[in-house]
Amino acid sequence: MSLEQFQLAQKYAELQRQHLDRHTYPIDQGVTPLIQRHGKTLINFSSNDYLGLASHPALKSAAIEYLKQHSIGAGAAHLVTGHHAIHEQLEQRLAQITGYSKAMLFSTGYMANMGVIDALMGH
């Protein structure tokens, strides 16, 4: 074992002692605002579905009907291949509801954080 490998192993062992090492956990309940972890019910603040809409029966039914006639996924970034008409319709409806001339959708919270400053500055 090299000195660098030894030092990394020591750092990792320290993270483990402090319970700071990260792990993935299998989930069975699907995407929900509440999750079960170590026998506790927790609020899932890290979810992209904090409103619980991913499990809403009406949205699931609408998605099934939509997928019977359309493909799954965008295929590429919107700037590369364009985006689906349904995305455009949703952006227009959100703008109308909020009283703004335009609205912009982001696929994840991370992407929103990456693009929001440029979007607000008009770039």
Q: pLDDT tens digits for 61-114?
A: 999 999 999 887 777 777 788 788 888 999 999 999 999 999 988 877 788 888
pTM of the model: 0.55
Q: Cβ–Cβ contacts within 10 Å for residue 33, how many? A: 16
| Residue showing tokens 């490998």 | 5
How many Å apart are CA 113 and CA 102, to the nearest integer?
18
> What pLDDT, on the 0 to 100 scale, is given for residue 92?
97
